Amino acid sequence: MSRVRTYRTQSVVLRRIDFGEADRILTLFTQTEGKVKAIAKGVRRIASRSSGHLELFAHSDVLFAQGRDLDVVTQAETIRSFRALREDLLGTAHAYYLAELVDALTEERQPNPRLFTTLVQALAALDDSFDPRLVVSHFILSALDATGFRPQVTECVLCRTPLRPEMNGFDRALGGAVCPRCSPAAVGARPIAVNVLKLLRLLQRTERVVDLGVRVPLDVSREAERLLREYAEGILEHQLRAPAFVARVREVTAAYQLG
């Protein structure tokens, strides 16, 4: 009789849906196994010992038992709950953004420890109330880099000439920035402001967003976020849902603050 295989790994819950009377089906991104779908049995019962350790976006140490269709969560212990993030609507909205992007960029059982580390660092930055626009932009760049879709922002993607501080373009289909001399040949290129391109370069070479060390004007961070979102959606070939949710939450938050 074969023994049930178990494995333990750090995990972040990306999605969850209720199943049956007391169970939940979880989509987790793990440090060593990649994306995993698993069932947490009885986790919705009041007496469950695991429920608090399997909250959305929580960073936990999880023990899994391998199942036929779904693996089974047998133990879980919180490493960092990101409670402040989950108690703040704007922080939660941005965490959904990160989770949706990871889910869309990855296939099941494809380990990517670098992407896992990037995700945990981004959630920690949101939990510590770091500028969420910069967190998202840095995460998109890092996630694309970790999955093989790094955009070129230091030299022209067509002629390979180093980019100068002038009005360059950015072409999603070509995978990065184009110089003014090559722009006529890049039919999909859109202008990219000098300060936006500088921010993308800085984000790309900064390992952790909390180490950025500069104040970024709102219009620059907003444009960088928009450009990177559109670039990611072009790769995924579909629109992300979370950005619209983030926009609605920002509107509500701004209206509440004015009131």
Residue 206 sits in a domain whose CATH number is 1.20.1440.120
Structural domain boundaries, residue 209: 84-258
Model confidence at 174, pLDDT cuts 50, 70, 90, reads: very high
End-to-end Cα distance, the chain: 67
CA distances 219 to 154, 184, 215, 241, Å, are 21, 27, 12, 22
Q: Where among 81, 97, 126 does a domain terminate?
A: 81
Is 1 inside any structural domain?
A: no
Model confidence at 259, pLDDT cuts 50, 70, 90, reads: low
Please tell me what DSSP assigns to residue 108: B
pLDDT at 49: 87
pLDDT digits (tens, 9 = 90+) for 17-36: 999 999 999 999 999 999 99
pLDDT digits (tens, 9 = 90+) for 197-244: 999 999 999 999 999 999 999 999 999 999 999 999 999 999 999 999
Contact present, 64 and 6 (Cβ < 8 Å): yes
The residues that bridge with 78 in the sheet, in sequence order, are: 60
139 shares its domain with 64:
no
19 shares its domain with 59:
yes
**Residue 90 scores a pLDDT above 80:** yes
pLDDT digits (tens, 9 = 90+) for 113-163: 999 999 999 999 999 999 999 999 999 999 999 999 999 999 999 999 999
CA distances 87 to 54, 76, 82, 126, 205, Å, are 16, 21, 9, 11, 31
Which token pair is 198?
A: 């500088």
**Residue 2 scores a pLDDT above 60:** no
90 shares its domain with 76:
no
